[in-house]
Amino acid sequence: MREYSIAAIPADGIGPEVIAAGTTVLESLQKRMGDVKFNVETFDWGSAYYRKHGAMMPADGLAKLKKFDAIYFGAVGAPDVPDHITLWGLRLPICQGFDQYANVRPTKILPGITSPLRNVGTGDLDWVIVRENSEGEYAGCGGRVHRGLPEEVGTEVAIFTRVGVQRIMRYAFRLAQSRPRKLLTVVTKSNAQRHGMVMWDEIADEVSKEFPDVRWDKMLVDAMTVRMTLKPQTLDTIVATNLHADILSDLAGALAGSLGVAPTANIDPERRFPSMFEPIHGSAFDITGKGIANPVASFWTASQLLDHLGEADASARLMRAVEKVTGAGIMTPDVGGTATTKDVTDAVVEAIQSSNV
Ligand code: IPM
Ligand code: MG
C-alpha cells in the first residue's frame, strides 16, 4: 500500500465546497485503485481564523505543513478582510516559504465546454503555462516615500536572478520535452525592458542547448495575446515571468471556456518541501453556500497532485472521469449547465468506479 499525507486548507468562500468535493473524489480513487491511501488532514486557516486570531494561520503554520507530501488548497479572499492580508498572510508565505518556484497551469478545452473562439474545439488548445513563482514582478521589492505629498514616489522593482531564471527555464524545457510535441514558447518583453528581460532571453538561449530535442521560439508578451487568440494550435508549453504568466493564464482560462475549470500547481521541483495544488478561480463570494461551485478545477488540480506524487494512473483515471462527465453535459451554471457541485461530484465518483474509465 502506498500512503500519502495531504494537508487540506479549504480556507475562504467556495474553497471549502470544492475541497470537500475533491476529497470525496480522492476517496473514490483510493477505493477504485485499492493499493493507494490518502490521509487527508484539514486545517481551518483563512479569513475566519484571521477574525478570531488576528493572523491567517498560526505562527508555526509552515512547520506544521512541512511534513506533508502535498498541500490541497481552496481559495483565499473575503469581503471584509483586505486582499493583501489574506494573500500575504497565507498563500504567498506558503509559496515563498516552500520555494514553490514553478507554477504550472494546464489549459485545454474539456469535452462539452465551448470556447469563445470561433472554430476552436477540444484538441485545438492544449497548453501548459509555466509561471515563474518566486521573483520577478512579485518580488515585493519597492517602497513609497513622501506619502500624500505631490512628490510622492512609489516603486515596484522586478527582480530577476540568474539562479531564478535558470531554474524556471530548465523546468519549462524539461516539461516541454516530456510532452508529445516537444515545443516551448518563451514569453518576453526584451524590446522595452532592456535589463532583466534581456538576461531572461539570454538564459533561455543557454538552457535550450541542454535540450536539443525541444523546439522553441520567443514571443513578446503583447504579440503572445494575439497568437493565443488567433493561432492557439501553434502553442504547447509556455514559460513566462510571474506577472506576464498571471495575465496570460487568465486569457488562457477564458479561451478554454471558463476560469471555473482552471487548475494550478505550485511546485518545488527539488522536493525539499511539499508542493501546493489549488483551483485558480478564487473564493467567489457571490455563489458561496449555494452548492453550485464548479468542482472541476479542484478535481483537475487533484490530478496534478497525483502526478506530482508519482500516481500517474490515478491521475489519468481522474481526468478521464472528469472528461466523461463534462462531455455528458453534467456541468455547473458557470459553464452553461444546470448541475450542482454535488451532481458533478457524484457523476465523477460514478465514472471513477465504472470499469470503462
Ligand atoms: C493568480 C491570482 C493571484 C496572482 C492574485 C490573487 C494575487 O490572480 O493566482 O493568478 O496574481 O498571483
Ligand atoms: Mg491571476
Q: Write out pLDDT tens, residues 246-255.
A: 999 999 999 9
pLDDT digits (tens, 9 = 90+) for 116-166: 999 998 889 999 999 999 999 999 899 999 999 999 999 999 999 999 999
263 within a domain of the structure (yes/no): no
**76 CA from centroid of ligand 1 (Å):** 10
Its sign, for the CA torsion 350, 291, 294, 277, is negative
| Ligand nearest the Cα atom of residue 132 | 1
Q: What are the grid coordinates assigned to 181, written together?
A: 510535441
Q: What number does the ligand 1 atom closest to the CA of 242 have?
A: 12
* pLDDT at residue 356 tops 80: no
133 and 231 belong to one structural domain: yes
Rounded alpha-carbon distances, angstroms, from residue 236 to 169, 211, 217, 288, 320: 15, 16, 11, 34, 20
Closest CA to 187 of 167, 209, 165: 165
| Ligand nearest the Cα atom of residue 131 | 1
**123 CA from centroid of ligand 2 (Å):** 24
237 and 304 belong to one structural domain: no
Catalytic residue chosen out of the listed positions 69, 124, 201, 250: 250
109 within a domain of the structure (yes/no): no
Amino acid found at 188:
T
355 or 73, greater pLDDT = 73
Residue given cell 472554430 in the structure block: 119
pLDDT band at 221 (very low <50, low <70, confident <90, very high): very high
pLDDT the model gives residue 259: 83
Catalytic residue chosen out of the listed positions 44, 83, 222, 313: 222
Residue nearest atom 5 of ligand 1, based on CA coordinates:
87
Query: Residue length, the chain?
Result: 357
152 and 71 belong to one structural domain: no
Q: Whole-prediction pTM value?
A: 0.95
Taking the C-alpha atoms of residue 343 and residue 303, their distance in angstroms, rounded to an integer, is 20
pLDDT digits (tens, 9 = 90+) for 292-324: 999 999 999 999 999 999 999 999 999 999 999
Taking the C-alpha atoms of residue 313 and residue 202, their distance in angstroms, rounded to an integer, is 38
236 and 272 belong to one structural domain: no
pLDDT the model gives residue 148: 97
183 within a domain of the structure (yes/no): yes
22 within a domain of the structure (yes/no): yes
192 within a domain of the structure (yes/no): yes
Does residue 109 contact residue 125 with C-beta atoms inside 8 Å?
A: yes
Q: How many domains are there within the chain?
A: 2
Which CATH number characterizes residue 156's domain? 3.40.718.10
Taking the C-alpha atoms of residue 142 and residue 25, their distance in angstroms, rounded to an integer, is 43
Taking the C-alpha atoms of residue 303 and residue 301, their distance in angstroms, rounded to an integer, is 5
Of 227, 256, 285, which residue is a domain's last?
256
Segment among 86-90, 187-191, 194-198 with least mean pLDDT: 86-90
Residue ranges around ligand 1 (CB below 6 Å): 87, 246, 280
Q: What is the mean pLDDT of the chain?
A: 96
**35 CA from centroid of ligand 1 (Å):** 36
Q: Reduced to 3 states, what is the DSSP secondary structure of residue 233?
A: helix
| Ligand nearest the Cα atom of residue 77 | 1
185 and 206 belong to one structural domain: yes
240 and 346 belong to one structural domain: no
122 and 251 belong to one structural domain: yes
Domain that holds residue 154: 115-256
Is 246 assigned a catalytic role?
Answer: yes
91 and 185 belong to one structural domain: no
Is 250 assigned a catalytic role?
Answer: yes
252 and 272 belong to one structural domain: no
Is 307 assigned a catalytic role?
Answer: no
157 and 225 belong to one structural domain: yes
Phi, psi of 202 (to 5 degrees): -60, -40
Q: Virtual CA dihedral for 180, 227, 115, 108, nearest 10 degrees?
A: 20
179 and 220 belong to one structural domain: yes
**247 CA from centroid of ligand 2 (Å):** 6
Of 199, 234, 256, which residue is a domain's last?
256
107 within a domain of the structure (yes/no): no
Of 196, 227, 256, which residue is a domain's last?
256
198 within a domain of the structure (yes/no): yes
95 and 120 belong to one structural domain: no
354 within a domain of the structure (yes/no): yes
pLDDT the model gives residue 97: 95
Taking the C-alpha atoms of residue 260 and residue 281, their distance in angstroms, rounded to an integer, is 6
Rounded alpha-carbon distances, angstroms, from residue 102 to 98, 132, 267, 296, 344: 11, 6, 5, 22, 30
Taking the C-alpha atoms of residue 54 and residue 216, their distance in angstroms, rounded to an integer, is 48
pLDDT digits (tens, 9 = 90+) for 56-99: 999 999 999 999 999 999 999 999 999 989 989 999 999 999 99
Q: Which whole number is the average pLDDT over 229-247? A: 97
Closest CA to 11 of 41, 54, 56: 56
Q: Which residue among 244, 246, 280 has the greatest number of ligand 1 atoms within 8 angstroms of its CB, and so is best to mutate?
A: 246
Is 60 assigned a catalytic role?
Answer: no
Q: Which whole number is the average pLDDT over 38-47? A: 98
DSSP 274-290: -EEEEESS---GGGTTT
* pLDDT at residue 355 tops 90: no
Number of C-alpha atoms within 13 angstroms, CB side, residue 324? 19
Q: Reduced to 3 states, what is the DSSP secondary structure of residue 246?
A: helix
Amino acid found at 251:
L
Q: Virtual CA dihedral for 11, 15, 19, 22, nearest 10 degrees?
A: -160
**282 CA from centroid of ligand 2 (Å):** 9
Is 69 assigned a catalytic role?
Answer: no
Taking the C-alpha atoms of residue 21 and residue 59, their distance in angstroms, rounded to an integer, is 29
